[in-house]
Structure 1
């Protein structure tokens, strides 16, 4: 079984090769992303392993099918970069639905605390021998209301952490888990009520047609003045231009963004000696109350190990003609089509 890995970094190759001793697969690693230009590199392989920035469009899928590729293995949870309508059952698709909810949840809280207590600003100040407290005033997390949009595995871990701080937690999800709400001590509410009541809003829903630009000029107008917004989900959950305007008007007090809607060109790359031509990203980076990280919330040793193991298990299941536990399929009925993970 020959596997082509796209958009890889040294840490990807290191951990996959180390774990491959148990699977005996044949790997080739490419630094380039999978796109219409680079798809030729997939010729002769049984599986292509892709990440969040790879562009699995209809053109790419058609070429993969022509080359005899049997499966697309996502080494991530999200799959909005795949054109499922173009697959037409020609290739299998698997993902990693849960690699470490703790990694993302803990990082989310870290962003909240950093923005609230201005830890990033204090760090830079003291390195310049400036020990003033001016401009570093924060607030107690205790008894503040945190609104969680999307209550999957990551959100539930986050809620447990926030309850430990003594936060009041309200949530919104199209499918309410009342059993978890009762056991963890949070309440479901409408989106409008969540916007109205929350001191902090954290996004943990998938990117779909319904959630694209969920945070926009209209929804921001319903929020508390000075609200903190955290996004460790998907970049296009937030309309960035509208967020910038709200930051300028001080409607939004602070924002923590581990993702950005146009991140593909920049995130995971070193631009320290290059010019960033994205004026919107540059504008965001100029706000002292905006914390931007490069899609790293998942990035722990534990998560990488789980990603690697789950991905290799899926490839091994294909190799041995077994049921693909984490297969993603397009399901259609009279109401339309939706993408489903068989293990969800």
Structure 2
């Protein structure tokens, strides 16, 4: 079995090499290029492609892959909103994913965003480096006793609940599949109106696209904190800017962004940013953005590599597919 890896980063390649090198029946070729309509031809001669969150796997790309003889799409991530599943089914292409690499990694990063915003440690760090020990402007607040609303309570959401329970927060959960636990299950409107902090952990689909919009912000408390470590398009970015300008949104922590495929995972430090919406977002002093690094731990990358190998082996050996999306 030959696999073409797209959007390969230097930091992840050693983890995959460590896993795949023990299985010579599976050959791997790494491409730095993202998969899209212009680069799909690189998959010629391969049985499968391995893609990440910002690769383009639309109907046109899938048709190209099918013509090249590619029969499998291996996602080295949990989300699959970037794959046209209808087109994949029409071309009899299997789609597999890594459903849970390290829920704790994303949950811990989520709390890191919360604490950084609430205690302003990023600002304190810069001050102290300039011998400025003035505390004015650094006043924070406790997570203890705050109401935190979690929208989507899968494995990452549950991991976040456990951490926040340790802080003594009161947790509200909105998820149709949630079962009773150390949190209160409620509807979306109640969560929006009651929460001091809101964290998004739901998949991106036609029902959740721009879930947080002007109407949602109107229901929130003044000065609410919003955290998104899930998918960028859950938020309407323009609505976020309006909420920041009116101070309805007091803190915004993002590890994902609606148009991140043009920005994230690359060094643009010598370029002029052409994304006016992103530039406006990061201009607010109460906004903290990280470049989709919530998953980025040694444990998570090891699990991603091992599960991707397992998925490839099951395809190669004709076994039942554990992590099949389609």
Q: Pick the TM interval, shorter chain.
A: over 0.9
* SS of residue in 2 equivalent to 1:171: strand
TM-score between both structures, scaled by the size of structure 2: 0.98
Higher relative contact order (CA 8 A, sep 6+): 2
Shift of 1:83: 0.6
Instruction: Please name the residue that 1:115 is paired with.
Output: 117
Q: After superposition, what is the alpha-carbon deviation per residue over 1:152-206, rounded to whole angstroms, capped at 9, x for unaligned?
A: 001111001001000000110122322xx2xxx2011111110111000000000
Q: After superposition, what is the alpha-carbon deviation per residue over 1:101-151, rounded to whole angstroms, capped at 9, x for unaligned?
A: 010000000000000000111111111111111111011111100000001
- The correspondence for 1:212, drawn from 209, 223, 240, is 209
Whether 1:32 aligns to 2:29 is no
Q: Unpaired segments of 5 or more residues in structure 1?
A: 330-344
* SS of residue in 1 equivalent to 2:257: coil
Shift of 1:89: 5.3
TM-score between both structures, scaled by the size of structure 1: 0.93
Instruction: Please name the residue that 1:129 is paired with.
Output: 131
- The correspondence for 1:101, drawn from 82, 100, 103, is 103
* SS of residue in 1 equivalent to 2:50: strand
Shift of 1:46: 0.5
Instruction: Please name the residue that 1:297 is paired with.
Output: 294
Alpha-carbon distance in 2 for matches of 1:222, 1:211 = 17
Which stretch shifts more, 249-258 or 169-178? 169-178
Aligned residues of 2:63 and 2:91 also touching (Cα < 8 A): no
Whether 1:252 aligns to 2:254 is no
Alpha-carbon distance in 2 for matches of 1:10, 1:126 = 33
Alpha-carbon distance in 2 for matches of 1:131, 1:283 = 29
Instruction: Please name the residue that 2:10 is paired with.
Output: 10
Instruction: Please name the residue that 2:43 is paired with.
Output: 42
* SS of residue in 1 equivalent to 2:311: helix
Alignment of 1:63-102 (within 5 A): 63-87=64-88, 88=90, 90-102=92-104
Instruction: Please name the residue that 1:335 is paired with.
Output: none
Shift of 1:255: 0.4
* SS of residue in 2 equivalent to 1:328: coil
Alpha-carbon distance in 1 for matches of 2:302, 2:115 = 27
* SS of residue in 2 equivalent to 1:72: strand
Shift of 1:239: 0.3
RMSD of Structure 2 on Structure 1 (CA): 0.8
Instruction: Please name the residue that 1:341 is paired with.
Output: none
Alpha-carbon distance in 1 for matches of 2:226, 2:298 = 27
Instruction: Please name the residue that 2:316 is paired with.
Output: 319
Alignment of 1:318-337 (within 5 A): 318-329=315-326
Shift of 1:271: 1.0
Alpha-carbon distance in 2 for matches of 1:57, 1:39 = 11
Aligned residues of 1:23 and 1:316 also touching (Cα < 8 A): no
Shift of 1:21: 2.4
Whether 1:263 aligns to 2:260 is yes
Alignment of 1:333-344 (within 5 A): none
